């Protein structure tokens, strides 16, 4: 008899407690005098349409961005965290660059450090001083001299990739670009970061490619739910030792790196790649690589002498290299080739530049010649503007900060833990900065007068991607090899215009990137 009233009272108490917490959490900005233009849901905040599959990430961020076109920022709730969406380029510059020390950290997608140690120790996830030290060190892996050495490795991978299609007898080869370029980027990462040789286009079921695909699979309703639950209840994931990445993926890449490291150390193998650089942090520099001539590397070593690095750190950084390059490179190549297929005049102009460069280089494009190809750079820049594969940037406030007031907007007080979001894709499509933003027009980059805070495909400020030079290198190489041999054309299955998929945490399209390859007539 007593049990029923007790249950009722308990339910009322819990309901009241949750209501108080809800009101406290989701009235944060209104208490500070800011206009609340959204309707946050408990736990999910303003991201409930994404969680429920009502909107994809692109649609949701555009919705936030255009709530009030006159404002410099928008006050929203990133799940249960207060967040400010920055829209004004000058304000982005102020917070992301000038006052960077207040916003040094990023939102961690894998709070369960014990279960996701493969991710937690890399440059993307590290915070504070650990991040600063590691950023200084890893910058030495992407100097011009390192890229020049890696050029030959990437070039060979690109040639093998294109040869696969040259060997096919069909006059018109129908290709799923995303899947094909995933194989290419997987092979490049395998040889340059993991020190292993694979050929995924010929052997698509090799374990390295399959595990890379599993690690970067962010599609499906269940994945979206897991992603949000991980953000909402990180303590539960830590308690249960549940990670964001499948255990089979963690085990595979951990064993691969540890075996490679053991082999190199045992047989005294020296290979100037990303993995070798990390080994030198652990064991000391190798004169065989002429590191005494690399001033940036020496400076990094001196600054890092108090920081110890373990094999697990090496595994984590190599895995981050896989995640950063696998999806972003394949997506950028897919969007670029789609645009070339539906904009034949751009493709013809680019092929002309490629052929002229080949003639100057006696049929084999050199590293220096590739860097000097202006129109190729313009095409790639426009592709990254229209289709940025990292559409949202984030930062976490690490100490009290105040956004100054203007005549139209009050000052905003940010506390440690509050979040900053930047919808780079929305800015890239804002008519204030780009006329006809939905038009693919490489010529807009001819004069190189773009405001860097309205163009952020690789991030912004000190925490921008340090591997962008590497990514540009492999993308440019394979585009040259592909276009010198093939014309990319639309086919019946080509989706025009492209439409973003609804239930995906990554930037993906509904019907894939299907095009045709026709051999170029000599």
Residue range 458-514, pLDDT digits in tens: 999 999 988 888 899 999 999 999 999 999 999 999 999 999 987 666 678 989 999
Residue range 34-48, pLDDT digits in tens: 988 999 998 889 999
Collect all residues with Cβ–Cβ distance below 8 Å to 55 and sequence separation of at least 6: 49, 63, 502
Residue range 496-512, pLDDT digits in tens: 999 998 766 667 898 99
Q: What percent of the chain has a predicted confidence (pLDDT) above 90?
A: 52
Assign 292 a pLDDT band (cuts: 50, 70, 90): very low
Phi–psi pair at 29, nearest 5 degrees: -75, -35
DSSP string, 399-440: S-EEEPP-SSS--EEE-TT-EEEEEHHHHHT-TTTSSSTTS-
Yes or no: say if 212 and 256 are a contact pair by the CB < 8 Å rule: no
For residues 161-186, give the mean pLDDT: 95
d(CA 76, CA 58) in angstroms, rounded, equals 16
For residues 315-343, give the mean pLDDT: 90
Residue ranges at the known binding site for heme: 465
d(CA 164, CA 54) in angstroms, rounded, equals 40
DSSP category for residue 88: -
Residue range 302-319, pLDDT digits in tens: 455 555 577 777 888 888
Strand 419-423 to 81-86 pairing: parallel
Token pair belonging to 37: 């233009």
**Mean pLDDT over all residues of the chain?**
85
Mean pLDDT is lowest, of 6-20, 225-239, 349-363, 411-425, for 6-20
Assign 219 a pLDDT band (cuts: 50, 70, 90): low
Collect all residues with Cβ–Cβ distance below 8 Å to 512 and sequence separation of at least 6: 176, 177, 178, 493, 495
Match domain 33-519 to its CATH number in 3.40.50.720, 1.10.630.10, 1.10.357.10, 3.40.50.1110: 1.10.630.10
Identify the residue with better confidence: 223 or 368. Answer: 368
Q: Looking at the predicted structure, is the pLDDT value of residue 416 above 70?
A: yes
For residues 205-210, give the mean pLDDT: 91
Identify the residue with better confidence: 487 or 290. Answer: 487
What SS3 state is found at 137? helix
Collect all residues with Cβ–Cβ distance below 8 Å to 82 and sequence separation of at least 6: 28, 29, 75, 415, 418, 419
Domain boundaries, the chain: 1-32, 33-519
Axis crossing angle, helix 344-360 with helix 311-342, rounded to the nearest 10: 120
Assign 93 a pLDDT band (cuts: 50, 70, 90): very high
For residues 72-76, give the mean pLDDT: 96
Assign 295 a pLDDT band (cuts: 50, 70, 90): very low
Identify the residue with better confidence: 517 or 112. Answer: 517
DSSP string, 308-319: ---HHHHHHHHH
Residue ranges at the known binding site: 465
């Amino acid at each position: 008899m007593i049990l029923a009233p007790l249950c009722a009272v308990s339910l009322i108490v819990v309901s009241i407690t949750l209501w108080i917490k809800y009101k406290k959490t989701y009235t944060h900005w209104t208490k500070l005098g800011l206009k609340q233009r959204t309707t946050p849901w408990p736990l999910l905040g303003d991201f409930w349409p994404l969680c429920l599959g009502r909107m994809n990430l692109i649609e949701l961020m555009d919705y936030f961005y255009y709530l009030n076109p006159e404002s410099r920022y928008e006050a929203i709730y990133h799940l249960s965290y207060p967040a400010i969406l920055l829209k004004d380029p000058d304000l982005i510059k102020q917070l992301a660059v000038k006052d960077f020390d207040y916003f040094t950290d990023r939102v961690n997608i894998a709070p369960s450090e014990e279960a996701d140690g493969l991710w937690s120790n890399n440059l993307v996830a590290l915070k504070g001083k650990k991040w600063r030290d590691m950023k200084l060190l890893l910058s030495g892996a992407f100097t011009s001299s390192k890229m020049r050495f890696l050029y030959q490795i990437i070039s060979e991978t690109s040639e093998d990739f294109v040869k696969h299609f040259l060997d096919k007898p069909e006059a018109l080869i129908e290709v799923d670009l995303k899947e094909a370029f995933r194989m290419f980027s997987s092979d490049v990462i395998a040889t340059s970061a993991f020190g292993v040789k694979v050929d995924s286009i010929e052997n698509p079921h090799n374990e390295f490619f399959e595990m890379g695909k599993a690690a970067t699979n962010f599609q499906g309703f269940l994945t979206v739910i897991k992603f949000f639950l991980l953000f909402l209840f990180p303590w539960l994931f830590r308690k249960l030792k549940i990670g964001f990445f499948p255990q089979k993926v963690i085990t595979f890449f951990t064993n691969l790196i540890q075996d490679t490291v053991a082999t190199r150390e045992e047989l005294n193998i020296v290979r100037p790649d990303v993995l070798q650089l990390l080994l030198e942090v652990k064991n000391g520099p190798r004169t065989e690589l002429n590191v005494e001539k690399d001033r940036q590397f020496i400076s990094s070593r001196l600054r890092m002498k108090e920081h110890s690095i373990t094999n697990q750190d090496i595994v984590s950084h190599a895995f981050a290299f896989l995640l950063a390059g696998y999806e972003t490179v394949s997506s950028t190549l897919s969007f670029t080739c789609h645009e070339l297929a539906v904009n034949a005049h751009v493709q013809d102009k680019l092929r002309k530049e490629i052929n002229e460069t080949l003639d100057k280089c006696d049929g084999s494009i050199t590293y220096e010649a590739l860097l000097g190809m202006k129109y190729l750079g313009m095409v790639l820049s426009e592709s990254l503007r229209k289709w940025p594969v990292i559409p949202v940037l984030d930062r976490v406030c690490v100490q009290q900060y105040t956004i100054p007031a203007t005549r139209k907007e009050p000052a905003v007080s940010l506390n440690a833990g509050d979040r900053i979001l930047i919808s780079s894709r929305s800015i890239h499509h804002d008519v204030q900065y780009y006329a006809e933003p939905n038009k693919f027009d490489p010529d807009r980059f001819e004069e190189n007068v773009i405001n860097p805070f309205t163009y952020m495909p690789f991030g912004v400020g000190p925490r921008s991607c340090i591997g962008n030079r590497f990514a540009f290198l492999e993308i440019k190489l394979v585009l040259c090899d592909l276009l010198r041999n093939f014309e990319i054309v639309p086919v019946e299955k080509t989706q025009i215009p492209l439409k973003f998929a609804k239930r995906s945490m990554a930037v993906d399209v509904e019907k894939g990137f299907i095009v045709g390859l026709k051999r170029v007539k000599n």
